[in-house]
Chain A
Amino acid sequence: MRISTKFAPRKADDGKPLTCTTDTDLKREQLLDLYRYLKLTRLVEERLVNLYRQTKVVGGVFRSLGQEATAVGTAYALGQQDFITPLIRDLGAVLVKGIRPRDVFAQYMAKAWGPSGGRDLNIHFGDMERGFIGPISHLGDMIPVMTGILLGARMQNKSIVGVAYIGDGGMSTGAFHEGLNFAAVQRLPLIIVAEYNHYAYSTPTSLQTACRDLAEKAVGYGIPATIVDGNDVVACYEVMKQAADFARRGGGAVLIEAKTYRRKGHAEHDDQRYVADGEIEWWEKNNDPIDRFERYLLDQKVANQEKLDEITAGVIREIDEDCDWAESSPMPQPEEAAYRVFDNEIVPPSLRPKVLEN
């Protein structure tokens, strides 16, 4: 596999503002589609923050501000049949996989019409038809689960790849190691997207691992790795395309490290006291993935500002409609809590015992 090691530049080589790689075959329509997904991701999250401030969200809101390009670009390189298992900061990948914003809004507001019917939070659900397996809170657990998805697919003679997203924090878990090691041994087409976003909650990467780059860890599994500029959406797409081709052709597991930066705290409540002064502002000003891609689209004359504004207006319309839909959903009926632990045609629901009801 060809490895590109141009990543996370502090500034472009020529001193000009950062943009995206021109080394791509992406067509105009695809580039504009990528732009739409980037904007959709950011604006869905902004709407969630609004809902949170109106106390309509039950629990926390988790942002991917500043790192949207990694999720959007990598997921966009996959086929419909391929599987992803994202982390909380990979909403972009979930949307690219065809999950509608309305489902995400309903989940965050704990509504009955959400895909989990109010039983679980945010993107903690799945859609097998769309190749989306939602995460659980236990970081690393989804790596062995994705290994199993691919093992099952191999037995069914399905030619798919599976992408598991993980962060610099999640890679410290035992489950990450166990899942990737097994996938590597079995030469399963598992692609790890390791997002180096500098912080796991408040803990810097230097306290997670003694490796300089997360990609170094791949050596221990006998698999190839590559490092990509995670804020260059085009580069993220291209690197995943290569990795997916490699895995699909029988090359086995691959690790992609995406260098990016988490500009918001762990969740909305986090005051980020652990971040050095000026660091967030630097990234916002110089290395925002959407700014970079807009610059690229305008410089390369893929679109003019009017076209980009039109796309954004369409995204806002979709968000308005989907948010209205989710808000109109009722909350779940209380006794729904008792159902679906098991197949209820075999084991009856766990209704409250009558003795407690008087």
Chain B
Amino acid sequence: MSTAVKKEHKSAPPERGGPATLVEAIRQGIWEEMERDPTVFVIGEDVGTYGGAFKVTDGLLDQFGRERVIDTPISEGAIVGAACGAALMGMRPVAEFQFIDFISAGFDLLTNYAAKCRYRWGAGLPAVFRGPCGSGVRSGPFHSLNAESFFLNTAGLKIVEPSTPYDAKGLIKAAIRDPDPVLYFEHKKLYRLPRLREELPAEDYIVEIGKARTVREGRDLSIITFGAMVLTALDAAEELEKEGLDIEVIDLRTLAPFDKAAIEASVKKTNKAIVLHEASRTGGIGGEIAATIAEEAFEWLDGPVLRVASIDTPVPYSPPLEDYYLPQIKDVVDAARKLAAY
């Protein structure tokens, strides 16, 4: 019988705070939660000896042992189902999808079991389902997904997606401590992006689920976005500033349930809104947010709510194709100019 061979390589435990990339922040968060609470455990494909495809769980096996860092067969049904069962027993599983694209293979148990347990019979199911999402990294139709829209119409699942190391650590801790199932999406393009590297506090903190963050304050127009598109929005805002447009950027951070109050407040201030996201346009979260703005803040609007999103195709592989697919800074700038002219 063969088992994965453990070579004489020991990964260093994460720093407590200090300068961190997004991937380091998530690893810190999981590590600290596993230290704090013995019911927290990690389960997924290649999360143990190998430390995860993106090394989010690197070193956890050495520190916490095979009982709490569980390598599974290639079986999303087993991962999700086992996380659900363990959560019912009072454990707090952190389940990894190697790529969020594979969440489709666990869809049934997520939407029919995890999402509905509390509603059906009052059994809270405190489980985190996390994994790398997002396009722009030339990975083609099966390693580039943004999956939030598949789940927005399922009551009972919270969805978060951080865009900074600080939020990543605070949100993973909040997700692990949450009494209900949380989908935690990590944009793989941001994992090691030097631009995002930031100093994290040494002390314990969480970022509350359900709260958006104003990344950039502005008077003329709101861009409501999340994930890697926060950077696109900020870059567009800088360009627009040269033209005298003062852009506000809202990072949703939580996609379900999203922060209606923050969106409303921003739109009532700027009177104009663009919703920017990386998933395809049709059926995307942009439509939901635009509808919310129309219902809650129609009288404050000075122009239509615009959506800037990817085109309605699978995510293509070749760089020119993927760049055509994805919203670019120029698309945001153009949309903002058009809207500003109202």
Residues of A participating in the B interface, judged by any CB pair closer than 8 Å: 115-116, 119-120, 124-126, 128, 133-134, 136, 138, 141, 143-156, 174-175, 178-179, 181-182, 185-186, 340-343, 346-347, 350, 355
B19 at the interface (CB under 8 A from A): no
A148 and B116 CA atoms in complex are apart in Å by 17
- Across the interface, do B109 and A175 meet the contact criterion of CB distance under 8 Å? yes
Q: Taking A145-B81, A182-B78 as contacts, is the C-beta distance between A343 and B123 under 8 angstroms?
A: no
A256 to chain B, nearest CB (A): 20
A147 to chain B, nearest CB (A): 5
A168 to chain B, nearest CB (A): 20
A314 to chain B, nearest CB (A): 29
Residues in B neighbouring A116, C-beta threshold 8 A: 120-121
- Across the interface, do A155 and B68 meet the contact criterion of CB distance under 8 Å? yes
Residues in B neighbouring A156, C-beta threshold 8 A: 89-91
- Across the interface, do A125 and B120 meet the contact criterion of CB distance under 8 Å? yes
Residues in B neighbouring A154, C-beta threshold 8 A: 67
- Across the interface, do A174 and B77 meet the contact criterion of CB distance under 8 Å? yes
- Across the interface, do B113 and A141 meet the contact criterion of CB distance under 8 Å? yes
Interface of B is mostly: mixed
- Across the interface, do A342 and B156 meet the contact criterion of CB distance under 8 Å? yes
B74 — nearest CB in chain A belongs to which residue? A178
Binary per-residue interface labels of chain B (59-82) against chain A in the complex, 1 for a CB within 8 Å, 0 otherwise: 000000001101011011110111
- Across the interface, do A126 and B121 meet the contact criterion of CB distance under 8 Å? yes
8 Å CB contact of B123 from A128, A146, A153, A347: A128
Q: Taking A120-B120, A141-B112 as contacts, is the C-beta distance between A148 and B77 under 8 angstroms?
A: no
- Across the interface, do B81 and A148 meet the contact criterion of CB distance under 8 Å? yes
8 Å CB contact of A144 from B78, B88, B178, B257: B78
Q: Give residues 195-250 of B contacting A (CB, 8 Å).
A: 210
A168 and B219 CA atoms in complex are apart in Å by 64
Residues in B neighbouring A119, C-beta threshold 8 A: 119-121
Residues in B neighbouring A150, C-beta threshold 8 A: 85
B83 at the interface (CB under 8 A from A): yes
Residues of B participating in the A interface, judged by any CB pair closer than 8 Å: 39, 41, 43, 67-68, 70, 72-73, 75-78, 80-91, 93, 108-109, 112-113, 116, 118-124, 155-156, 158, 178-180, 210, 257, 295
The 9 A-B residue pairs with the shortest CB-CB distance in the complex, in nearest-first order: A148-B85, A144-B81, A152-B89, A148-B82, A152-B86, A178-B77, A182-B78, A149-B85, A125-B121
- Across the interface, do B81 and A143 meet the contact criterion of CB distance under 8 Å? yes
Ordered by A's residue number, 23 sampled pairs between the chains whose C-beta atoms are within 8 Å are A116-B120, A124-B120, A126-B121, A133-B88, A134-B121, A144-B81, A146-B85, A148-B82, A149-B89, A150-B85, A152-B91, A155-B67, A155-B91, A156-B90, A174-B77, A179-B82, A181-B78, A182-B72, A340-B118, A343-B124, A343-B179, A346-B179, A347-B257
